[in-house]
Amino acid sequence: MKASLKPRYEARAKILKAMAHPSRLLIIEELQKQEWCVNELTEMVGADTSTVSKHLTVLKNAGLVADERRANCIYYRLRCPCILDFMECVEEVLAVSAKDHQKIMKCCKK
């Protein structure tokens, strides 16, 4: 790979990697609606608080979320609304795959 392109792809990969986990996708989706504190997100995810905290750190390091303390809770919010479009594309990939799968299924029934 051309050395000049490497940092570019590494930066992008970091963001995608940060999103590439079921629990983190749930968190992202919930944060699209409104901000939530760690406690609330922990309940939604259904894992240990420390686990969710680490997921949030991953998202924060990737620049996807921001946090802010208010009273004695730390609230997280999404930093980029475009992530919604992102998911539309992911769904399209899934849809195309599903279509193929259907074809295969039909083919087998014959």
Partner DNA sequence: TGGCTATTTGGCTATATGGCCAAACACGAA
Partner DNA sequence: TTCGTGTTTGGCCATATAGCCAAATAGCCA
What track of x and - describes contact with a copy of itself for positions 62 through 91 (by CB under 8 A)? xxx--------------xx-xx-xxxxxxx
C-alpha span between 68 and 74 (Å, rounded): 5
Report the nearest approach of a copy of itself to the CB of residue 71 (Å). Answer: 25
What does the binding site for DNA look like in residue numbers (CB under 7 A)? 17, 21, 23, 37-39, 42, 47-51, 53-58, 67, 69, 71-75
| 50 binding partner (options DNA, a copy of itself, none; Cβ < 5 to 8 Å by kind) | DNA
Residue 30 has which token pair? 């919930």
Cα dist from 64 to 72, 92, 93, 109, whole Å: 23, 22, 22, 45
C-alpha span between 106 and 103 (Å, rounded): 5
Cα dist from 92 to 9, 13, 26, 60, 98, whole Å: 23, 20, 18, 27, 10
Contacts of 52 (CB under 8 A, 6+ apart): 23, 27, 38, 41, 42, 45
Report the nearest approach of a copy of itself to the CB of residue 109 (Å). Answer: 22
| 71 binding partner (options DNA, a copy of itself, none; Cβ < 5 to 8 Å by kind) | DNA
Report the nearest approach of DNA to the CB of residue 77 (Å). Answer: 13
- Point out which residues bind a copy of itself (CB under 8 A): 1, 5-6, 9-13, 15-17, 19-26, 44-46, 62-64, 79-80, 82-83, 85-94, 96-97, 100
